[in-house]
Every structure is written in structure tokens, then in C-alpha cells.
Structure 1
Amino acid sequence: MAIFARYAYAGGAEVIAVLLLRFVIAAALMTCFMLATRRRWPRGRNLLLLLGMGGVLYVGQSMSFFSALNHASAGLVALLLYLYPFLVTLLGALFLRQPLGVGRVVAVLAALFGTALTLGGGLAGEAVGVMLGVAAALIYSVYILAGGRVLTQEDPLAAATVVMIGAAAVFSALAIWQQPAFPASVSAWTAVVAIAVVCTVVAMLGFFIGIRNLGAADAATLSTLEPVVTIALAALFLSEPFSLLQIVGGAIILGAVVWLTRAGARTADQADGVPSTVVGSTARSSVE
């Protein structure tokens, strides 16, 4: 998303405008698909929870993250945000009684270390920037854990659609208040549409499916692949250089993901009475 956002900002769009368009376009597309497939919409408590996830938690995380960028380097803010797999694992164990195995802890810490190497140096910032960065990670962790609870009862597409609607409503109000600048070029609008479709509809739906099948902690750890993919795409399309440390960091993250995935497969097979040498194509994590 960072690559598309760069094109959008270069085309004259401001942050609030990009976020507004991101969620409005995503909400419209997903609502159309919901109506076309006649899927059941969330109701009652789950509906309110999902609207709160979008309108309060997702918006709060986004605003904390972008505000932190005004008081700290992009590398430090990104690293603080990627504390969320560790926080999800810790909070899930403390408040939701989710198992906290040694393998999972090692995988999470390895992914965090790999992320630090991948993001590189320039980790400087003011105290307020650090606090906002940690706040973004904490809010996102609560968002993921809340999603983990509601997704045991709701369809991932329906849940993601309601979250998008909640976020779109709040950012619409913010846009009316602040009146931000919108994209002024075809390339900027193309980037915004890509953010909405690829980085929001596809990414969020995939993440929600991951939470439902793997559990919140493991899905969060797997998502640390994002900075690796971002750096690879930036090198490919923007000709941005990358260092040996970033390659090492990416390898560590990939190793942590493979370790976590294989551990989940072994746990699922043992739970089903299948020898660990016969690994199925789909496995659930021990958090379930």
C-alpha cells in the first residue's frame, strides 16, 4: 500500500482524502458483492461490534499511525506498528486464555527482529511519536482480537463489509470537516483505486479468512510478510535500493512464517489422529 500511496500523494491527494476514498470504494464494492450473492448480514451485537471495529478501532489506528509520522521517522513508526503480532499473542493469552507455546513465542519474536532489520536504520523520533506508534499497534491488536471473536460467528466477507462501512462513515465526516485535497491526476486516481481494491478489499478479506482459520495470533504473525513484499515491489517498480540487512531480515521473517505454519500443521494433524509425517493441505493453529 505504501507504494500506491506514494503515487496518490504525488498526484495532490491528502491523507484524509486517500483514506476516505479507500474505504468508500471498498465498502461500495463489497456491498455490491454482498447483495449479488445474497449473503446474510451481521445482526445485533455482532453488527455493532463490527461497526465499532471499523469506525473506532480502524480509524483510531490509522489516525495514530499517520500522526506518529509527524513526530518520528517512518522506519520507527513502522517498527512500532509491527509490535502488534507480539501484542496480539500476549493479550490473547492474558485475556482470552489462548495457548502460549514456546514455538509461537519464538516465531513472533523472530518475526519482530526480522522486521527491525528489514525496515533498516533511521529509527529516530520524539516521545509523542513513540507513544502514538505504540498506540497504533495496541489499537490494531484489539481490532484483530475482536475480529477473531466475531469471525467465529460471521462470514468473513460480511464482517469485512460492515467494517468498511463503519470506517467509510467516520472518514466521510472527517472529510466534510477538514475538506482535504483529492487526487488531481489519472495516475493518482489509479493508485487510490488500487489501494481500495488490492490493499483493502483483497487484503482485508484474506486477513479475515486467515483469522478465522488460523486464529488471531498466527494470522498477525504471518502478516509480517508485508514489509518484505513492500521492499521487493519498491525495488522492482521504483528502483529503490535494498541492503544486505534487509535481505537477512526478510529471510528471518520467512523462516518464522514457515516455522509457524509447519507447527500449526503438526498440531492439527495430531489433533485429528494423523501422523505428523503426513501433512495435509490445510491446517489450523493450536489457538483454536
Structure 2
Amino acid sequence: MFFCLASGATFGAMAVFGKLAYAEGATVGTLLALRFLFASGLFWAGGAGRSLPARRDVLIALGLGAGGYALQAGLYFTALPRIDAGVLSLLVFTFPIIVAVAAVALGRERLTRRRALALGASSAGLVLVVGGAGALDPVGVALGLGAAVVYSGYILVSESVAKRMSPLTLAALVCTGAAGALTVGTVLVGQFQPGELTVAGWWWLLCLAGVSTVAAIALFFAGLARVGPTRSAILATVEPLVTVILAFVVFGETIGLAGVLGGGLVLAAVLLVQTGDR
């Protein structure tokens, strides 16, 4: 449980780091490419290559990065300049519902009463936390929902691979696949412009890579291998709560009474998962 919660918290800082990087000269392409180039380098420097798995699993993990994680990240960070960070978090965090329904449909897990209640509580809490938003950009909404769908498929596919190799190795391979796909793609479309970054911009991208990528992904895979896709998805709902809190601290955004109530529901969902299934 701890790994999933810690992963959610570090992922929660991602939107704030992203907006700060955009303000310091980063384009979407620059952010995506450098994020995963830095992250993959940090993973391999940290010893991810000490024991590589079978070739088939290596290729699967690289494919997850290039075809799954890269696409999800691209959708997310393209949506980020269009809509508020909190609203984007809500849209993306429809993925626990998608994961739970898909896992049950595939016969992998049972949707117990306690788990269903936790899903309902976390979803209602997220609505309250980021509710009250004004007019929404329809393209941003579509991109956010698309990121949720892609991320759901990514979680379900990566579960079996996560049980066959170390979280560090899997995270390194996923980031390497994403780095390759995103770097080539952004260069081809003319979005790779690192020369436009300020010194502060480089710093925020390093924070994005180190905190909200290296630490977050490694912790997520460690948690996924221990608690399964539905529990890990529910526990990860602390992410938007952290995003809202950080947005308040950094940008002065307020959440009001509805946000406080929503945060309580998210924490209640976490406690329901921790106390087991019935």
C-alpha cells in the first residue's frame, strides 16, 4: 500500500512541475522528450541493467513505453496548457473505474462490495475536490479522457510483466521506450526546442524527471506487483488530492469546503482498501 500511495503523491507534483516548466520556455515536445531522456538515464545509472530479464519481456516493456506510456504522457501534457491541473486530474482519474471494470470483465479480479464502495467514494471525492470549474476546453477534456483510457490499458498489460522483473528494470525499459518514441516524434514535428529553456526551466524538468517520473514509476510498479491493478488504481487517487494541495501552495488556488470534503472521501477510500476485501 505504501508504494502506491507514495507513487500517487509523487505523480501529484507532475502537473505543477509541468506548468512551471511551460512558464520557463518549455514546449510540449521539449518537456516530453527531456523528461524521459533524463529519467531513463537516471534509471540505468541507478543500476537497472544489472539483471536484464528475458528478451521477450524486454521487448514488451520497451513497447509499453513507446506505445503506451508515451501516448498517455503526450495526451496529458498536451491537455495541461488547455485546462486547469485539478480538472485534468479528475478526467485522468476516471481510470480506476475503467481498470476495475476491465479487470472484472477479463476475469482477473472480483468486484467486491468493499472495493466497489471504495471506487464510488474515491470518484465522488475527486468530483468534489476539483468541482466548480468554469467553462472547459473541449479539446483539453477529450485529451484528458483519452489519457485515462490509454493509461488503463497500460496498467492492465503491465501487470503480468511487473511480476516477472524488478520494478527498477521495468521502469528503466518503459522510460527508454518512451524516450525513444517521444524524442523522434517531437524532432520530426519541430517541437524539440531545448534552447528556449531558461535555467529555471531546466530545473523544473529535472524535478519532473527525478520526482514525478523516476520515483513515481518505480514506486508504482513495486505497488502493482504487490496489490494488483484495481487496488493500485484506487490507492493512486491520492494523486489529484496532492495536485490540488500543491496548486494552492504554489499558485494560490483555493479548494473551498467542497475540496475538503472531497479529500476526506479520497482518504476514506484509501482506508477501505487497506482494511481488505469482503
TM-score after normalising by structure 1:
0.84
Q: Which ranges in structure 2 are unaligned for 5 or more consecutive residues? A: 1-13
Cα separation, 2, equivalents of 1:51 and 1:123: 39
Q: Which ranges in structure 1 are unaligned for 5 or more consecutive residues? A: 268-288
Cα separation, 2, equivalents of 1:227 and 1:73: 12
Q: CA deviation at 1:73?
A: 6.3
Aligned to 1:281: none
Q: CA deviation at 1:62?
A: 2.1
Q: CA deviation at 1:126?
A: 6.3
Cα separation, 2, equivalents of 1:65 and 1:231: 16
Q: Which protein, 1 or 2, shows the higher relative CO under an 8 Å CA cutoff with sep ≥ 6?
A: 2
In the alignment, structure 1 residue 258 sits paired with structure 2 residue 271: yes
Aligned to 1:42: 53
Task: Name the amino acid aligned to 1:34.
Answer: G
Task: Name the amino acid aligned to 2:145.
Answer: V
1:181-192 equivalence runs, <5 A = 181-182=193-194, 183-192=196-205
Q: Structure 1 residues 226 and 185, CA, compared in 2 at 3 Å: closer, same or farther?
A: same
Aligned to 1:28: 41
Aligned to 2:105: 94
Q: CA deviation at 1:153?
A: 1.0
In the alignment, structure 1 residue 175 sits paired with structure 2 residue 189: no
Instruction: Please tell me whether the aligned partners of residues 54 and 165 of structure 1 are also in contact (alpha carbons under 8 angstroms).
Output: yes
Q: Match for 1:213 among 210, 226, 251? A: 226
Cα separation, 1, equivalents of 2:187 and 2:249: 37
Aligned to 1:65: 76
TM-score after normalising by structure 2:
0.87
| Percentage of identical aligned residues | 34
Aligned to 1:286: none
Instruction: Please tell me whether the aligned partners of residues 65 and 175 of structure 2 are also in contact (alpha carbons under 8 angstroms).
Output: yes
Aligned to 1:144: 155
Cα separation, 2, equivalents of 1:202 and 1:107: 26
Larger CA Rg, structure 1 vs 2? 1
Q: CA deviation at 1:55?
A: 0.3
Q: Match for 2:91 among 80, 88, 92? A: 80
In the alignment, structure 1 residue 2 sits paired with structure 2 residue 15: yes
Cα separation, 2, equivalents of 1:71 and 1:188: 20
Cα separation, 2, equivalents of 1:124 and 1:54: 33
In the alignment, structure 1 residue 200 sits paired with structure 2 residue 177: no
Cα separation, 2, equivalents of 1:177 and 1:222: 38
Aligned to 1:272: none
Instruction: Please tell me whether the aligned partners of residues 71 and 150 of structure 2 are also in contact (alpha carbons under 8 angstroms).
Output: yes
In the alignment, structure 1 residue 240 sits paired with structure 2 residue 253: yes
Cα separation, 2, equivalents of 1:53 and 1:15: 21
Q: Match for 2:31 among 6, 18, 23? A: 18
Cα separation, 1, equivalents of 2:105 and 2:203: 43
* Matched pairs, number: 263
**Does 18-27 or 92-101 show the bigger shift?**
92-101
Task: Name the amino acid aligned to 2:171.
Answer: A
Q: CA deviation at 1:238?
A: 3.2
Q: CA deviation at 1:130?
A: 4.5
Q: Deviations along 1:204-229, whole A, 9 cap, x unmatched?
A: 10011110111111111111101111
Q: CA deviation at 1:48?
A: 1.6
Task: Name the amino acid aligned to 1:98.
Answer: E
